Amino acid sequence: MSTAQRVAALAAAATSWYAAYRLVWRQPPLRDLPPASPAKSFDAALTAAAAQVAQRQPGMRPDAAPIVLTHGAQRDRAIVLLHGFTNCPLQFKALAEQYFARGYNVFVPRFPYHGLYNRAPKELAALTAEDIVRTGMTAVDIARGLGRHVTVLGLSMGGLVAAWLAQHRSDIDRAVMVAPALAFQPVPFGAMPLYATYARYALTRFVWWDPVNKGQAPGPEYAYHGFHLRAFAELLRLAVLVGEEAGRAAPKARSLVLIINPTDESIDNDGVLAVAKRWRRRGANIAIYAFPADWGLMHDLIDPCQPQQQTERVYPLLIQWSEFPYYVAPPRAG
């Protein structure tokens, strides 16, 4: 083989490798995302929030609408609470009320295709990473009018969205990621792009959270019994993109809090901590906390309606970790 032939063969191999990389490994970037558009006043924020509450997707439970709790005017603190995959704003209702009692204005948005009466909905297969990021972006826009300082706190899928928002928005004072879906136990962290591609192109199917009890599994009546593989592919895609961005640039949010559950049955904590290390190498202001392992907490440690829940001791720590060290409690009445 001549030198020219060898060069041509190498070029062809490199081209084939790059094509395979783009097809199998590289995840599609997010597209058609709206720019940040913070509400310019409390009234504008309240109008935007009310419009979201009034939206009704076919088959949606009325009590699964977004939650808005305000003190009638802009406060020093506003908080956005982002619910988990296959749950709905009701997951955060009790915690939202505790933040409200502490003086916060609170907004809990609903992610698309969540909160439907059908607890094994085909609609969930249409969920995209763009859908959940847009929801988070709009929620922060609203919160900017509700409070002078904004905290975003999310669990699981909500924690993943909080991580993306922290990476991209400088008007977030604190992003709190609770058991964030940045890495998953069944999926090797280093091979997440491959799994994301497989799940995106595989035949869509419904996966039961409890494959034994299926639709009879205990839990909140407003949470789904499982998820569609196609929707899970979008969580994997977003997790890969956030992980890659964490290695390239520091997050724009002023501070980050990562909260780990050592007995989480769904999240790969080592993978999540690997992303946190990337942020730290980029100079991020990030604090990491962990619940006591001997508590034996389940993945959904927020929803009071989950079996074996321990919110009476989880909530105080969540509030403490989300507020320390910059929060100053409002004066007591009287």
d(CA 293, CA 267): 14
For 203, residues 6+ apart whose C-beta sits below 8 A from its C-beta are: none
The string of pLDDT tens digits covering residues 248-305 is 999 999 999 999 999 999 999 999 999 999 999 999 999 999 999 999 999 999 999 9
The string of pLDDT tens digits covering residues 48-60 is 999 999 999 999 9
Least confident of 61-65, 66-70, 202-206, 272-276: 202-206
The string of pLDDT tens digits covering residues 3-40 is 654 544 444 443 443 344 455 779 999 999 999 999 99
More confident: 102 or 7: 102
* pLDDT at residue 25 in the model: 75
Structure confidence at residue 219 as a pLDDT band (50, 70, 90)? very high
Q: What percent of the chain has pLDDT over 90?
A: 88
Is 332's pLDDT higher than 60? no
* pLDDT at residue 1 in the model: 63
- Sorted by where each begins, the domain ranges of the chain are 33-323
* pLDDT at residue 244 in the model: 98
* pLDDT at residue 203 in the model: 87
Instruction: Determine if the pTM surpasses 0.95.
Output: no
Q: What percent of the chain has pLDDT over 70?
A: 90
CATH code that applies to domain 33-323 = 3.40.50.1820
* pLDDT at residue 325 in the model: 66
More confident: 7 or 101: 101
Could you tell me how many residues make up the chain?
Answer: 334
